[in-house]
Amino acid sequence: MPFEVIPVMDLRGGKVLRLQRGASGAEARVADDPVKVARQFADAGAARLHVVDLDGVRVGTPQNVPAVRDILRRVSIPVQVGGGLRTRELAERVLNQGADRIVLSTSDVARDDAFLLDMLARYGEKIVVGADSRNGFVAAEGFTARVAESIDAFGRRLAQAGARRFLFADAAREDGVHGANIEATLAFAQAVAAGGARVLASGVVGPADVEKLAALQPHGIEGVIIGKALYGGALTLDDAVRIAAEKGGGAAAA
């Protein structure tokens, strides 16, 4: 498969946001119309979008339902959706609205193994499992059952349980400054490869991250999701796709 470059759309209050971490906790609004942003990415060549309901992450149930529904109805490219999907009913509602994949967060997966196993058995490839790491261990709020579990052990366990795709993130680098943790992403991809799983990377801040990650496609890293770098102007979608095509096994903005 081509190496995938996946634009991110973070939703809060029905708007598209670029999150800025720091002492101020500031947020920068990008656009009032999520459908317009989604169409711009599609017109620029994206074959898939990554949509996150930020309010849903905070509250625990989807909160940007109209915006997500409009994106799914009015944009022709596949969309993967996450944020507050903590029950089968909520997850199935998004899938039935047309989502190509759903993303289950690290915290939700850690909270309820039975829920994850049921979703994997029912939907397999349509499930993306969040794998948030901090200093090599699972970073999940309220995660107490396996508080000392390494992120690699977490991935191996879930890959053996049927997870086919993970979204890896280094929580220590989610400031949009330090870039992707290439070494940790590769180690995680190698850890889950024996179970037949693949990995989407995150934390890209510029062309060099895309170049390095695309070159690792043979090791199980199938794509990257990119948000801050696109919205902040450090990288264009066209450039990301071009770099991935040069360094990977052919690329799709997916």
pLDDT along the chain (254 residues), means of 10: 92 85 59 93 89 94 97 96 95 97 87 87 95 89 60 94 95 73 97 95 93 95 93 91 81 53
Q: What integer pLDDT is reported at residue 248 of this predicted model?
A: 75
Beta pairing, strands 3-12 & 15-19: antiparallel
Q: What integer pLDDT is reported at residue 28 of this predicted model?
A: 74
Q: What integer pLDDT is reported at residue 130 of this predicted model?
A: 94
The structure's pTM equals 0.91
Domain ranges of the chain: 3-252
User: Two tokens at 106?
Assistant: 């690290």
159 beta partners? none
User: Two tokens at 231?
Assistant: 């919205």
Q: What integer pLDDT is reported at residue 67 of this predicted model?
A: 97
Q: What integer pLDDT is reported at residue 19 of this predicted model?
A: 61
Find out whether 252 and 78 touch, Cβ atoms under 8 Å: no
Q: What integer pLDDT is reported at residue 30 of this predicted model?
A: 80
Architecture per CATH, 3-252: Alpha-Beta Barrel (3.20)
Give the separation between CA 112 and CA 226, rounded to whole angstroms: 28
Supply the residues annotated as catalytic: 10, 132
